[in-house]
Chains A and B, each alone.
Chain A
Amino acid sequence: MAASEDIPARAAAAARPRRLRISGRTLANHAILILGAVFLCAPLWIAFMSSTHSAETLYREGLQFWFGDSMLETYGAVMFDTGGVTKNTTALTMLGNSMVLGLGFAIGKIVISMTAAYAIVYFRFRLATPFFWVIFLTLLLPLEVRIVPSYEVVASLGLLNSYTGLIVPLIASATGTFFFRQFYKSVPDELLEAARLDGAGPLRFFLDILVPLSRTMVAAIFIIMFVVGWNQYLWPIIMTTDDQLYTIVIGIKQVYQVLAEGGELPQYQEAFALTILAILPPVLVVLFFQRWFIKGLLESEK
């Protein structure tokens, strides 16, 4: 009896709007996350805002936190005019070169590693194991430990200042091959067996089954590789001396040098504008394809 009498009271209590109570922990969580977000985002914001002011303002008042009035002027000059921080080239040219490098690197790497991984996983051939170890070796040989001889090889092949020389030496490292090898291994064996019974040969199985099956993986890895390619620095500065082949990331080094040289009034706003232009494309790709990007990152680094 007592229990049934309780029911209306309990229902009333439940119906009464509960006072919104925020625990200390929740409050702390948000405070910490906001601080973290500010730590990461503030430099970008300041760079962007400062890029919209004139050089005089920056020199007089320091960094800026809100929009100024010379945005169009600055970005126009950086994008389309030579001189200033971009010297003999323009940001547009450099963005184009970065795009070629990013796309070329991503596509080249995916094609090469998909095919190589296919050979290693799906074929019984005598050289499979040695091939695998040779590919593995590349993990031990980052560019940084073979800078000078790599430069000499590319020079002797006449590939300095060419897209080929820029892209090809970068795409052969093992990470992509390992990634696809791991993925192929997770594809059920029965799929290959069913395809063989359905009369598919090695090429047909690859094109009809495996490639379409890898679509999301390819998309994920493409995002990562595009960003990695876009952000290449050491190799491009070594092997491009022709400023028409500069990528925007190399442009950053040039900006640094121009600012370091001094001169009358350093064009800080143009420097900021160039950093924004260098950051924007890869950041947009990452944010726009966030889900694929995270998947690609988690899978490829393993």
Chain B
Amino acid sequence: MADIRLSQVEKRYPNGAHAVRGVCVDIADGEFVVLLGPSGCGKSTLLRMVAGLEEITEGEVAIGGALVNDVSPADRDIAMVFQNYALYPHMSVFKNMAYGLINRRFPKEEVRAKVEAAADMLQLRDYLDRRPHQLSGGQRQRVAMGRAIVREPKAFLFDEPLSNLDAKLRVHMRVEIKQLQRRLGITALYVTHDQVEAMTLADRLIVMNGGVAEQIGTPLEVYERPASAFVATFIGSPAMAMLRGRVDGGALRLDGQPAGLPSGALKAPDGPVTVGVRPEDLRLAEDGWIAGRIELVEHLGADQVLHAALDGQGERLIARFAGAESLPADGPVRLAADPAKLHLFCPESGRRLAA
């Protein structure tokens, strides 16, 4: 295994599309890094540039300390697991896993040994003679993993490997991938648009939007201190409420709202702000500084989710409460949140303001 270093990586397509903009990140040996973002954010393009399947317009990609910009994908010594698995449909499971080794002229005995070892690890021993179409979705997924493992590559690249599986299997395979990665000490770069997958798998997350790495950090850092309004709303479900307001001498007043936080509550500079509040950080309070009208309360068993329309703003917000709490079904409502739990963002740039 090896580390991967991306420096100022750019991707511009001939048609002018600017898919990846100046991404810098160092992935340590054995680290599991997840690229997370909405579709079209450039995360797959970035992964494919690391694989060598897309040309790098500008910047540098180094694997194991060696610059690989001009190295062909076959010579980068990396393995990839594709969304649709990309198994060779006419080859047996054995042949699928062995193909890369055979092409690299490994001796027959060694190929067999490596494939069988990987098959044992993945519980595929009984399926080596089958064709991909004779396997279940989870088994195909394992073959794709096996194909990567036998190569003992410097790094693993995953391109949304679980999105073709049903929900239950997805959770199961997610656990398997994580265990395998820990056991083998794999350096992994993993693309997904599923935030649960990202949060559970990642040592570190790269949240991408519009080709830019908006934030790089551990899942907890990203959740607790989102670097931008985009990251704040993208991570967390239900999504964080975003309210328009104004800071004046450390006091906060939301647009069109009667009350506000008293002076000195916040350390942000004066001016308009976007205030983010996570649903779980809101609580009912008779004198709360957030006034609205209840639209719907959903009971989910363990939780209750309250949807409210904010007075004086077009915004809606979602608050989460424990299942046992008694909530009014409709009518006006006052909510409050601890000032320390608020996230303040610049309304223009969307960047986090020092709070």
Contacts and interface: CB of A to CB of B under 8 A. Distances in A.
A and B touching (Cβ–Cβ under 8 A): yes
Nearest to A190: B86
Q: Which 9 A-B pairs have the closest CB atoms?
A: A198-B100, A190-B86, A199-B103, A194-B86, A199-B74, A190-B82, A212-B90, A196-B73, A198-B99
B110 to A, nearest CB: 15
A73 interface: no
Interface in B51-92: 51-53, 72-74, 78-80, 82-91
Contacts of A188: 84, 86
A214 to B, nearest CB: 10
Given A188-B86, A193-B73, A212-B90, A200 B103 contact: yes
B18 interface: no
User: How many interface residues does chain B have, given as a range?
Assistant: 20 to 34
A190 B103 contact: no
B90 A215 contact: yes
Interface residues of A, number: 18
B299 interface: no
A207 to B, nearest CB: 12
Nearest to B104: A199
B74 A196 contact: yes
Interface string A191-206: 1011111111100100
Contacts of A201: 74
A201 B103 CA distance: 9
Contacts of A200: 74, 99, 103
A139 interface: no
A213 interface: yes
Main SS class of interface, B: loop
Interface of B: 48, 51-53, 72-74, 78-80, 82-91, 99-100, 103-104, 147
Contacts of B52: 196
Contacts of B104: 199
Nearest to A187: B89
15 contacts: A188-B86, A190-B84, A193-B48, A193-B82, A193-B86, A195-B99, A197-B51, A197-B73, A198-B74, A199-B100, A199-B104, A200-B74, A201-B74, A209-B90, A213-B88
Given A197-B79, A197-B80, A199-B100, A191 B74 contact: no
A199 B51 CA distance: 12
A209 B85 CA distance: 15
A195 B53 CA distance: 11
